Chains A and B, each alone.
Chain A
Amino acid sequence: MSDVLLEVNDLHVSFFLTEGIVRAVSGVSFQIERGKTLGIVGESGCGKSVTARAILNMVRPPGRIVSGEINYYGQSDTPIDLAKLDPHGAEIRRIRWGEISMIFQEPMTSLSPVHTIGNQMIEAIRLHMDMSKQDAAAHAVGLLARVGLAQPERLLTRYRHELSGGMRQRVMIAMALSCNPKLLIADEPTTAVDVTTQAQILNLMRDLQQEFGMAIIFITHALGVIAEVADHVVVMYLGEEAEVADVDTIYYKAAHPYTQALLRSIPRHDIKLDRLETIEGNVPDPMNMPDGCKFHPRCRHYDPGKCANPALLQIGEQHWSRCARAHEINPQLSRTEQPS
């Protein structure tokens, strides 16, 4: 079996609204290796959640996957293209949660308001694993204990409004791991909780990854969080990837003005700045994307002569950037890595 677990090739997802077409994801490619963590980072609205939903083939009308492949190497070396499966079919429903599970952005409302925690966990477990109700309940209790929740038996009979935000997120993590998935997609799992809880949850996820061995796609808008969890990073901007590399390269050899701007906007203890920068300008209207390089209205290195239509350039062994001037803006890139 190859190391690659999931491979996204040139994924396009659009929403067909009466006002026009929103190209939420337009040509994204990346890979995840077994047991590794991939971080997807970008500003609000750049298509992170849509990408995540596309992987489970859960994009709902008026949106749909327009083209591209999502190759999942679950059992063997012959992949299943998740993008081609019937979204209501048995095959994708088996893979959902059984092989690829997901924690959603809104922990407050990700659990049903009128069903108990136990009901929802046992439902998931029994759907994918051949277990009696009692066994499933015992399994759920074990998981709840494992994610650090006190009195797990009692928790089974509780409702979502009886739990704090941090507890809900732990319940979601326990539920997401309940069927031993090979891939866990965590969509901004720590955005809605306080800083202390955030750190605890990040640690918890790291420990769980060691124990369960699943790969993680970690979605966030904070590059600072990525450093702590990810092996590889995809930086997204307006439905495209701006830059793809391993985490150290992103931090020390960023070769896209957008990544550089994101880096300048996070506090770092190793560089003293008078004040943190924010990225100038706003995210453009999704119906009305800029021509050429999508970042150019906000880019400090924009040169109309050079930046006409940048493609994703390979500028290192595992390093891609969608900036025509990648080499000029990053003097650290060694000469030898330059394409001829």
Chain B
Amino acid sequence: MFQFLMRRSLAALATIWVISIVSFVIIQLPPGDFLTTYMANLREMGERVPEEQIAAMRERYGLGEPMFVQYYKWMRGIIQDGDFGRSMEWGVPVSMLLWDRIGLTVMVGLSSILFVWVVAIPVGVYSATHQYSILDYLFTFIGFLGLAIPNFLLALVLMWIGWSVFGQNVGGLYSPEYSNAPWSIGKFIDLLSHLWIPMLIVGTSWTAGLIRTMRANMLDEINQPYVETARAKGLTEWRLVWKYPVRVALNPFISTVGYALPQIVGGVLITAVVLNLPTIGPLLLRALLSQDMFMAGAIVMILSILTVIGTLISDILLAVFDPRIRLE
């Protein structure tokens, strides 16, 4: 097990290294260095930047020096000070804008996963064990409906419902009075009261897909001889289904935990724009549109790293849950 952990962690580190290079290339893609663009932007707005500051930044990011020196300085900044460079558009360090939003993105992501699992697994199990029953057909129907309705539409509808029925302004993740307040119990509760809408929106289409997967996995397992053995032992149907086939059918789920995060960031993008969520998706979209390359590079890099970490976690979970894995 220890060896397995070491091997996987090393592989993850190597992947992260490659990702950092790719992110760096993204930053370098637009013609000219970012400082020139930055200056041009500032001048357009009629501001003047002192020469010393420009020289300091030039030194800091190694501009004009060979590529690998620039890469080295960029990486050193990240590792030593968590400095991902400056956002040209916002005129502040990228890291200032990023952390809060990453936290919220992970929050929306995790709560959506939770929602999806809590709904999809029992429903999938029921559909499989009661194949072709009325409820099975009903779930299938609702599932396809969930898949077919675009997220942004659902977002608009839910916003409207939230506003007209609950009198709640459901855009964003906080009420105005909390948005700049420091963390407190009140702010957290306020966050939760806003979280259900993105959770539901991201959740529905995804839940529908997962119900299908769970149902199919279960149908594969439910007629296996080991289930028959369990039944012949005299276990109740409920106990044997949850102990044996569900356990095996869950394994493919565990292996996808790692991909959930980028999926959510991508999947939730339009929703996030519509709902005005302070998550990372809209930020990335804006950064790409305005060629705010340090920002875009940083986001791509952090998301990729989160994916690698997620995958590592799935691998480890799978090794813990599926004894067959450890062999290889």
- Interface stretch among A89-97, A221-229, A262-270, A276-284? A89-97
| Other-chain residue from B229, B248, B321, B327 in contact with A110 (beta carbon distance below 8 A) | B229
Give min CB distance, A290 to chain B, whole Å: 29
Is the pair B234, A111 in contact by a Cβ cutoff of 8 Å? no
Which A157-185 residues have C-beta < 8 A from chain B? Answer: 159, 161, 172
Query: With an 8 A cutoff between CB atoms, is B48 at the interface?
Result: no
Per-residue CB proximity of A88-107 to B under 8 Å, as 1/0? 10001111111001101110
| Other-chain residue from A102, A127, A161 in contact with B235 (beta carbon distance below 8 A) | A127
Is the pair A112, B226 in contact by a Cβ cutoff of 8 Å? yes
Query: With an 8 A cutoff between CB atoms, is B49 at the interface?
Result: no
Nearest B residue to A56 via CB reads: B232
Is the pair A58, B226 in contact by a Cβ cutoff of 8 Å? no
Is the pair A161, B233 in contact by a Cβ cutoff of 8 Å? no
Distance, CA A128 to CA B233, complexed state (A): 9
Nearest B residue to A160 via CB reads: B226
Chain B, interface residues (CB within 8 Å), range:
20 to 34
Query: With an 8 A cutoff between CB atoms, is A292 at the interface?
Result: no
Query: With an 8 A cutoff between CB atoms, is B247 at the interface?
Result: yes
Query: With an 8 A cutoff between CB atoms, is A135 at the interface?
Result: no
| Other-chain residue from B228, B236, B244 in contact with A58 (beta carbon distance below 8 A) | B228
Query: With an 8 A cutoff between CB atoms, is A113 at the interface?
Result: yes
Is the pair A94, B234 in contact by a Cβ cutoff of 8 Å? yes
Is the pair A109, B224 in contact by a Cβ cutoff of 8 Å? yes
Distance, CA A109 to CA B230, complexed state (A): 12
Chain A, interface residues (CB within 8 Å), range:
20 to 34
Is the pair A93, B234 in contact by a Cβ cutoff of 8 Å? yes
Query: With an 8 A cutoff between CB atoms, is A123 at the interface?
Result: yes
Nearest A residue to B247 via CB reads: A114
Main secondary structure of the interface of B (DSSP, over half): helix
Distance, CA A58 to CA B227, complexed state (A): 12
Per-residue CB proximity of A218-251 to B under 8 Å, as 1/0? 0000000000000000000000000000000000
Which B295-328 residues have C-beta < 8 A from chain A? Answer: 321-324, 327
Contacts of A149 in B (CB 8 A): none
Is the pair B233, A96 in contact by a Cβ cutoff of 8 Å? yes
Distance, CA A145 to CA B243, complexed state (A): 27
Interface-central residue, A111, A113, A115, A172, by most chain B CB under 10 Å: A113
Interface-central residue, A92, A93, A112, A128, by most chain B CB under 10 Å: A112
Is the pair B224, A96 in contact by a Cβ cutoff of 8 Å? no
Is the pair A123, B233 in contact by a Cβ cutoff of 8 Å? yes
Distance, CA A104 to CA B236, complexed state (A): 19
Distance, CA A159 to CA B327, complexed state (A): 11
Contacts of A123 in B (CB 8 A): 233, 235
Nearest B residue to A61 via CB reads: B131
Query: With an 8 A cutoff between CB atoms, is B64 at the interface?
Result: no
Is the pair A113, B226 in contact by a Cβ cutoff of 8 Å? yes
Distance, CA A161 to CA B324, complexed state (A): 7
Is the pair A159, B324 in contact by a Cβ cutoff of 8 Å? yes
Which A117-159 residues have C-beta < 8 A from chain B? Answer: 120, 123-124, 127-128, 159
| Other-chain residue from B232, B244, B247, B251 in contact with A97 (beta carbon distance below 8 A) | B232
| Other-chain residue from B224, B226, B244, B327 in contact with A161 (beta carbon distance below 8 A) | B327
Query: With an 8 A cutoff between CB atoms, is B76 at the interface?
Result: no
Distance, CA A115 to CA B321, complexed state (A): 10
Interface residues of A (CB under 8 A from B): 56, 58, 88, 92-98, 101-102, 104-106, 109-116, 120, 123-124, 127-128, 159, 161, 172
29 contacts between A and B (CB under 8 A): A58-B228, A88-B236, A88-B237, A92-B234, A95-B234, A96-B232, A102-B232, A104-B225, A104-B228, A105-B225, A109-B225, A109-B226, A110-B225, A110-B229, A112-B230, A112-B247, A112-B248, A113-B248, A114-B247, A114-B248, A114-B251, A114-B322, A115-B247, A123-B233, A159-B323, A159-B324, A161-B323, A161-B327, A172-B229
A-B pairs, top 10 by smallest CB distance, nearest first, are A96-B234, A93-B234, A159-B323, A97-B233, A112-B226, A110-B225, A106-B225, A109-B225, A124-B233, A102-B232
